[in-house]
Structure 1
Amino acid sequence: MPEGDSVFQLSRRLQFMRGREVLATSLRVPSVALHDFTGRTVHRVWPYGKHLFMQFGEEILHTHLKMEGTWSIHRKGDRWRKPGHTARVVLDLSGEETIEVVGHSLGFVKVFHISDYPDRVAYLGPDVLAPEFDLEQAKANILARPTRPIGEALLDQSNLAGVGNEYRAEICFLMGVHPATPVALVDIDRTLHLTRRLMWENRNSPIRVTTGVRRAGESSYVFGRNNKPCRRCGTRIVNAELGDRIIWWCPRCQPLLSGA
């Protein structure tokens, strides 16, 4: 599931694009179909939370993976087409061999002038995986709504950018708090330090791990483990909707406090 660490790794994998000339452009989304980067150089590729940005001259290509998006890299002429015509972005890049970079099933594709970048990301909170995470700003954002459930606050990208459904479930478990616990009853400093540490340690890992065990089926405590025994106490993990997403927790390790 794409979260901030997934996009961080994707950005790192696409750094080879920098300095290459765009030989052909195909943006297969009606709203941006007439934009053409052909003849321009790729100046920069970078992540911000769950968002990916590429700069071509004075324009920025902004994409989001959402739930199903992927990027693939191919030599020109290789077969990459998937059933259902999923390609949304196709870029041919210069080099000893022409390389095609393809974005499939992207959640959205936008293009804007570089001068608009600050406004385009202004609604996002601090990036958890930025070189310097602004913990104090993230804390202020979360505490601005003290009665809101911590499980909703962590997932809100306007509070902090990058946390997805898997991380929020695991963070709540490691904090020992029920996801519905109001923000005011949670140690937000400790929560954010944990969030940063978990995501930072996973930023270069092909397997997202919160348990410390890098084996299939053992890398998470509660995420996706409905009705399975808690790794700490043996109680059956449960799940329910919180906001508009499913979240998992252990009823014994994460009791809902009276009055919460």
Structure 2
Amino acid sequence: MPEGDSVLQLSRRLQFMTGREVLHTSLRVPSVATARFDGAVCESVWPYGKHLFMQFGDAVLHTHLKMEGTWAMHLAGDRWRKPGHTARVVLQLEGSPYPRPIEVVGHSLGLVEVFPVAQYGEKTSYLGPDILSDEWELEGRAQAVARILSRPERTIGQALLDQKNVAGIGNEYRAEICFLAGIHPARPVAGVDVPAVVDLARRLMWMNRDAPLRVTTGVRRAGENVYVFGRNRRPCRRCGSRIEQDFLGGGEDLERVIWWCPRCQPG
């Protein structure tokens, strides 16, 4: 599931784009279908929470993976690994030292938009601080804590998933953070040590920022790497109780599935 660490790792894999000229642009989303970066050089590629940004000259390409998005890189003319009808962004870049241009393809992207560089601050102003930012300790942590505490009646599960509070936490991390903190995800913010939870979230995600397999248990084996996420009715790794599953949200928040241990995380 793409979360902040996934997008950070993706941006690193795409750093080869920087300094390369765009030879051909195909944005297969009606709202931006006429936008072109042809002839421009890729100035930068960077993440912000779950969002990915690329700068071409004076324009920024903003994309979001949502649930199913992926990016693929290959030489022009090679067979795509995913169906062509799922492509939303196709960028053909100068390929030196390779014999052919490089194609960068975004499949099944949940969001594609283009805007001038000058609008970047405005476009991202609604987002909370990026939990994986190198500058987190300078101001990000304090902002995240303050934003969550501003609505004490809200559940901690909803607050952690709200990208306006802190950018980058997704459903898997939410489940694991709440388990490790020993709190039920439906507990109101007023009854939670918010600074401690925010510190735990940062520490957990920072430890996983370079990992190909997301691990919260300390065991780097698939199937043993998480405590509660996706483990409905399976025994808790700590106490043996059956993990429970329900939904949390409604109103301004989308309903999302939650998991918890009824003994380790009392309601």
| TM-score of the two chains, using structure 1 as the length reference | 0.97
State the distance in 2 between where 1:82 and 1:176 align.
41
Corresponding residue for residue 114 of structure 1? 117
Tell me how far 1:41 sits from its aligned partner: 0.2
Q: Distance in 2 between matches of 1:31 and 1:62?
A: 13
Unaligned runs of 5+ in 1: none
Opposite residue 263 of structure 2, the aligned amino acid is: R
Q: Which residue of 1 aligns with 2:89?
A: 89
Structure 2 partner of 1:183: 189
The structural deviation recorded for 1:101 is 0.2
Count of residues in Structure 1 that have an aligned counterpart in Structure 2: 256
**Residue 222 (structure 2) aligned to one of 216, 229, 233:** 216
Using the alignment, how far apart are the partners of 2:92 and 2:129 within structure 1?
33
Residue 132 (structure 1) shift: 1.4
Q: Percent identity?
A: 70
Q: How does 1:4-15 map to 2 (within 5 A)?
A: 4-15=4-15
Q: TM-score, normalised by structure 2?
A: 0.95
Match of 2:105 among 102, 105, 108: 102
Runs of 4+ aligned structure 1 residues displaced above 2 Å come to 81-84
Residue aligning to 2:44? 44
Name the structure 1 match of 2:133.
Answer: 130
Could you tell me how far apart the structure 1 residues matched to 2:42 and 2:210 are? 23
Alpha-carbon distance in structure 1 between the residues aligned to 2:28 and 2:49: 24
1:76-104 superposed Cα distances (whole Å, 9 cap, x missing partner): 11010633610000001112231000000
SS at match of 1:85: helix
Structure 2 residue 255 is the aligned partner of structure 1 residue 254: no
Q: Distance in 1 between matches of 2:82 and 2:143?
A: 42
What does residue range 222-233 of structure 1 map to in structure 2 within 5 Å? Answer: 222-233=228-239
The structure-2 alpha-carbon separation of the partners of 1:81 and 1:217, relative to structure 1 and needing over 3 Å to count, comes to: closer
d(CA) in 1 for partners of 2:102 and 2:84?
23
Q: Confirm whether residue 241 of structure 1 aligns to residue 262 of structure 2.
A: no
Q: Which amino acid aligns with 1:236?
A: R
**Closer, same or farther in 2 for the Cα pair 1:84/1:17, shift >3 Å?**
closer
Task: Give secondary structure in 2 for the equivalent of 1:158.
Answer: coil
Secondary structure at the aligned position of 2:85 is classed as coil
2:57 alignment partner in structure 1 = 57
How far apart are the structure 2 equivalents of 1:179 and 1:95? 48
Q: For residues 45-67 of structure 1, what are the alpha-carbon distances to aligned partners after superposition, in whole Å with 9 as ceiling and x for unaligned?
A: 00000000000000000000000
Query: How far apart, in 2, do the equivalents of 1:58 and 1:24 lie?
Result: 17
Task: Give 2:78's aligned residue.
Answer: 78
- Aligned counterparts of 1:187 and 1:216: Cα–Cα separation in 2: 31
Aligned to 2:177: 171
CA shift at 1:148, angstroms?
0.5
RMSD of Structure 2 on Structure 1 (CA): 0.8
